[in-house]
């Protein structure tokens, strides 16, 4: 393709700039040969399996152009054909590395307890069900298992997609591929290898990708009828009129140059517009399916929400807020709990106090001695253990914050409640307006699936006006739900950002990944929203619809022009090779200009 482009440009420069017809002619001839070789190979392979593809017609048309010495036409047609095929192939091969990326994230080793009682590092394949394993801070959990001893917080985002680490102690379940943020755990292996939850995620991605066959291009379907018809017409004309030049003229005029370039130019213009606006669309099949979708399914954390717990609400029951904030932040600095980190980040420094002693209450919080005061920071259960009395207003405030999906941190000083802090994952700014734009673009069903509890998911769905909300969803549950939607005939897009989302991204007709998500989610997806900017999603859908419509317009123009040219050969006296070529080239220019309109596309609402 590159050689053909250079030779064509050189030929035009020689002809128009230096008036050297001979060099221009040979430049076009060589460009035609280089361009025709791969097309001819494709045509031969198609004929071997008894398919008369568009490659066959292009090859014969190029040969016909050689017969009548129209080398410019043959060179340009072959170049445009190769360019279109290159653009298609380049964008459709993005998902090949998804399995490799997942495999690289899987645990490779484990600390296994030997007969001597010591822990030694072994390959994860050498771990059997019932083995006792040690997981240290920062380490990956190598298998699905049950905690025997120890405490810590485990980041389960690779399994559930939820950003908030989960506290684990004796009896708790842990999953392979999750990361121990802090603490030390001894676990007993319950499931190993491919039977682990992480192993099943890899398997689900493989199955989902296998189930997604590429849709047959419209042009290929059209060529099953069009190509043999033009060939037959040329042969019949040549036999009946005994006019080889007329037969070749029919082949050349019937060569679908505008049809060949029409779809790729719309495709590349749409992809170019998307790239300028932070949207990566991976190929024409993606654009076609995306333009027709009626159901959009969202993961919650990192997609509809920011993915980081933040302080959302604060209520103080004191006139000396600064002192309470100082006591609170001093206590929370002693904790590695994610809620504690959110509080310290929110309030910053409010003076330095000397902590005399601390007592960690399991499942409750922390009780500390500060400047002669007894300070308790934790949940409502800890407050009850400290005999803290709640007024009617306090009870109402607690109930209100809980209904809004907050995790609560209460602070008491000397047995009196002084502060109530609500912490939750924040909804992305502007998401509600973006979802309304999606509805106006024809998306009938907006669904959220999350590993979080049902109450929190319902709150998010109600606030955003979603159609459905489902909580407690593991990766296999999400995939099952998408299959059910597809069985109902719905065209489904799934929007997510985590490893746990990759099976659903691969299974849905359109997988949409947030750009700051994991590499495997991005690789498995069909559409990527760069920088995780949710506001780009309505533009992406509107652009897909405009691009699909533009492709259809170009196909109609190309086919219409070819039919008019072929009809004019028989039913007019003014049609000849020169006029036909002029119209033919003009049609190519028209479809290119029509496609380039997409570069200026902007969502109107």
Active-site residue 299, yes or no? yes
Q: What is the Cα–Cα distance from 364 to 409, expressed in whole angstroms?
A: 10
Give the up-direction half-sphere exposure of residue 95: CA atoms within 13 A in the CB hemisphere: 29
Measure CA 413 to chain center: 49
Tell me the sheet residues that pair with 174.
145
Contacts of 313 (CB under 8 A, 6+ apart): 401, 404, 406, 420, 421, 422
Q: Find the DSSP H helices in 129-255.
A: 157-160, 197-211, 218-241, 244-254
Q: Is-contact 366 331, C-beta < 8 A? A: yes
Q: What is the Cα–Cα distance from 421 to 423, expressed in whole angstroms?
A: 6
Token pair listed for 177 = 């591929």
Which of 144, 299, 497, 501 is labelled catalytic? 299
Token pair listed for 580 = 């036909």
Let me know how long the chain is: 605
Give SS3 for 89. helix
Q: Is-contact 129 142, C-beta < 8 A? A: no
What per-residue string of b and e applies to 401-438 under the rule 16 or more CB within 10 Å gives b? beeebbbbbbbbbeeebbbbbbbbbebbeebeebbebb
β-pairing verdict for 109-113 and 132-135: antiparallel
Q: Is-contact 294 445, C-beta < 8 A? A: yes
Give SS3 for 163. coil
Q: Is-contact 474 451, C-beta < 8 A? A: yes
SS (H, E, C) 568-588: HHHHCCCCCHHHHHHHHHHHH
Q: What is the Cα–Cα distance from 175 to 296, expressed in whole angstroms?
A: 29
Residue among 524, 515, 522 nearest 206 (CA): 524
Distance from first CA to last CA of the chain, Å, rounded?
40
Q: What is the Cα–Cα distance from 139 to 182, expressed in whole angstroms?
A: 9
Q: Hey, how many other C-beta atoms are within 10 angstroms of the C-beta on 170?
A: 12
If residue 413 lies in a helix (H) or strand (E), which one and from where to where? strand 407-413
If residue 47 lies in a helix (H) or strand (E), which one and from where to where? helix 21-48
What dihedral do alpha carbons 77, 81, 83, 86 form, nearest 10°? -160
Quick one: residue 498, left, alpha or beta (phi over 0 = left, psi -120 to 50 = alpha)? beta
Q: Give catalytic residues, as residue numbers.
A: 299
């Amino acid at each position: 393709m590159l050689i053909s482009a250079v030779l064509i440009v050189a030929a035009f420069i020689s002809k128009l700039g230096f008036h050297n017809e001979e060099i221009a002619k040979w430049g076009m001839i060589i460009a035609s040969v280089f361009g025709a070789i791969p097309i001819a190979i494709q045509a031969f392979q198609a004929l071997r399996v008894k398919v008369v593809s568009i490659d066959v017609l292009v090859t014969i048309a190029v040969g016909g152009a050689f017969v009548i010495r129209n080398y410019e036409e043959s060179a340009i047609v072959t170049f445009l054909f190769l360019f279109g095929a290159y653009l298609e192939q380049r964008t459709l091969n993005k998902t090949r590395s998804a399995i490799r990326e997942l495999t690289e994230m899987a645990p490779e080793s484990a600390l296994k307890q030997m007969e001597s009682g010591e822990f030694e590092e072994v390959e994860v394949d050498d771990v059997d069900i019932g083995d006792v394993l040690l997981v240290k801070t920062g380490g990956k959990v190598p298998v699905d298992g049950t905690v025997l001893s120890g405490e810590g917080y485990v980041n389960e985002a690779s399994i559930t997609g939820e950003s908030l680490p989960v506290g684990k102690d004796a009896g708790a379940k842990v999953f392979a591929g999750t990361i121990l943020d802090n603490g030390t755990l001894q676990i007993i292996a319950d499931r190993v290898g491919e039977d682990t939850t992480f192993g099943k995620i890899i398997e689900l991605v493989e199955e989902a990708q296998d189930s997604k066959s590429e849709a047959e291009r419209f042009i290929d379907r059209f060529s099953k009828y069009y190509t043999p018809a033009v060939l037959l017409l040329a042969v019949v004309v040549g036999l009946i009129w005994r006019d080889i030049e007329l037969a070749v003229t029919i082949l050349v005029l019937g060569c679908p140059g505008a049809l060949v370039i029409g779809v790729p130019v719309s495709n590349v213009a749409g992809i170019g517009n998307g790239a300028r606006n932070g949207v990566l669309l991976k190929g024409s099949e993606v654009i076609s399916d995306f333009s027709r979708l009626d159901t959009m399914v969202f993961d919650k954390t990192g997609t509809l929400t920011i993915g980081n717990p933040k302080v959302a609400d604060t209520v103080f029951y004191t006139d000396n807020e600064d002192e309470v904030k100082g006591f609170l932040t001093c206590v929370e600095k002693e904790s590695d709990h994610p809620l504690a980190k959110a509080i310290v980040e929110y309030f910053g420094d409010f003076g330095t106090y000397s902590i005399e002693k601390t007592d960690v209450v399991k499942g409750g919080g922390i009780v500390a001695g500060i400047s002669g005061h007894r300070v308790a920071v934790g949940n409502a259960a800890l407050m009850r253990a400290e005999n803290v009395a709640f007024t009617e207003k306090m009870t109402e405030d607690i109930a209100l914050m809980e209904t809004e999906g907050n995790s609560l941190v209460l602070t008491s000083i000397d047995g009196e409640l002084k502060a109530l802090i609500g912490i939750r994952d924040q909804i992305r700014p502007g998401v509600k307006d973006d979802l309304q734009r999606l509805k106006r673009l024809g998306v009938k069903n907006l669904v959220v699936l999350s590993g979080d509890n049902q109450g929190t998911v319902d709150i998010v769905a109600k606030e955003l006006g979603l159609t459905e909300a489902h909580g407690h969803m593991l990766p296999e549950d999400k995939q099952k739900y998408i299959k059910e939607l597809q069985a109902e005939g719905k065209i489904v897009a799934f929007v997510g950002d985590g490893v746990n989302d990759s099976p659903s991204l691969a299974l849905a007709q359109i997988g949409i990944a947030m750009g700051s998500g994991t590499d495997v989610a991005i690789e498995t997806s069909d559409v990527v929203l760069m920088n995780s900017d949710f506001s780009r999603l309505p533009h992406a859908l509107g652009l897909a619809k405009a691009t699909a419509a533009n492709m259809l317009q170009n196909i109609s123009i190309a086919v219409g022009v070819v039919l008019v040219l072929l009809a004019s050969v028989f039913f007019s006296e003014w049609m000849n090779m020169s006029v036909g070529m002029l119209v033919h080239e003009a049609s190519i220019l028209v479809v290119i200009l029509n496609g380039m309109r997409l570069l200026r596309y902007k969502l109107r609402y």
